[in-house]
Structure 1
Amino acid sequence: MDKTREQLLDELLDKQAIYELIMAYANAADRHDHAKMRTLYHEDAIDDHGHFASGPAMDFIDKLPAIQANMDILHHNVTTVNLKLNGNYAEGEVYILAFHKVKDPGGSYDVLIGGRYFDKYEKRNGVWKFSHRAIVADWAYPAHPSAVRLDHPFLSGAYLGKPGPDDPSYRFFSLFTFGAR
């Protein structure tokens, strides 16, 4: 039997909610917004970030301040998003390009990672959140020393992004709040 228009609209709304969850994760990671990050996972969720942490997502988020302490720039770019729904459960394969500029005693270096998130989502009490997220690295492109130039003439006079609540987005927008979804 074909799906009704109402069923198709419900599925589209669920996919949009999951897509917004995925985007909120990228924002929370890049802004080092750990309070916001906590709102994206169910309390019993699992996160597998390889050697950084594997287990309860809240334990991973507890470790984020130390993990991110030496990262001057984090920039997660979501590209291809493949979602499959089954009622209040969904799975997603999410392609990302994640740029990292890392401070090091020997000088800063860059790592651009191409990878994917393998996600499981659950809709509980009407809200979609991560129930399990695992990172898969497909490739890495390192540069040592860092090739990032914030003093390049193209950036003259531009707002410069930074981690935390001092990012210019929080002064520019009135609807985006640090620590809120």
Structure 2
Amino acid sequence: MALTSHQEQQLQILLEKQAIQELIHAYCNAADRRDQDKMRSLYHPDAIDDHGGFFQGLAMEFIDRLPDIQAPMEILHHNVTTVNIKLDGDYAEGEVYVLAFHKVKTDGEPFDLLIGGRYFDKYEKRDGVWKFSHRAVVADWVNVHNPSIVDLNSPIVEGSRLGKAGTDDPSYEFFSLLRRGQR
């Protein structure tokens, strides 16, 4: 059975949106694993990133500063929920809801920061690949626990793999296809 032209068009839209969804998820993984090579591959060279008080400017400069921005973060955990994407040829826009958990070390006790927010994204498909051309972060609500309530020494997780920032994360030993630095 051959597809109608309408079905082919709908299938193409679905494929384009899936590619953008994979880009969005790759961003979360790159941020949480502190994989700057992977993060760089997600943005066009002239892309803009607006992370409010942390940074506003060229995304590549933001990525250069990420090690310092992320240094006090003992845990980063980005979770994407609702994703709304609209396509117009090789340009698209997305409003992406995110829950971003941070355990932040300080000179005293660490504290937890849970942000409910959204990414306002602009994407462009260049040379057949969707990447961010502009990302702006919006905070809708914030929940702070000071001191932190995270307890990775609890007996309930004893013997479990524990996530870590960078190359010490157990995912790098476990996976052969999901590699560091790759989309």
Aligned to 1:143: 145
Aligned to 2:136: 134
State how far apart, in whole Å, the 2-side matches of 1:71 and 1:17 are: 29
Q: Deviations over 1:120-162 (max 9, x none)?
A: 0000000000000000000000011111000112211110000
TM-score, normalised on structure 1? 0.98
Equivalent position amino acid for 2:119 in 1: Y
Distance in 1 separating the partners of 2:36 and 2:26? 12
Q: CA RMSD in A?
A: 1.0
Q: CA deviation at 1:3?
A: 6.5
> For 2:64, which of 62, 65, 72 is the aligned residue?
62
Write the distance in 2 (CA, Å) between the matches of 1:116 and 1:164: 25
Other-structure match for 2:116: 114
1:48-87 correspondence runs (5 A)? 48-87=50-89
Instruction: Give aligned-pair identity as a percent.
Output: 68
State how far apart, in whole Å, the 1-side matches of 2:155 and 2:105 are: 23
Aligned counterpart, 1:164:
166
TM-score, normalised via structure 2 length? 0.97
Give every structure 1 segment of 4 or more consecutive aligned residues whose post-TM-superposition deviation is greater than 6 Å: none
AA at the equivalent of 1:40: L
Letter in 2 for 1:6: E
Structure 1 unaligned blocks of 5 or more: none
The equivalent of 1:124 in structure 2 is 126
User: How many angstroms does 1:177 deviate by?
Assistant: 1.1
Q: Give 1:175 shift.
A: 0.4
1:43 aligns with 2:37: no
> Residue by residue, what CA displacement relative to the aligned partner does 1:6-43 show, whole Å, maximum 9, x if unpaired?
11111000000000000000000000101100000000
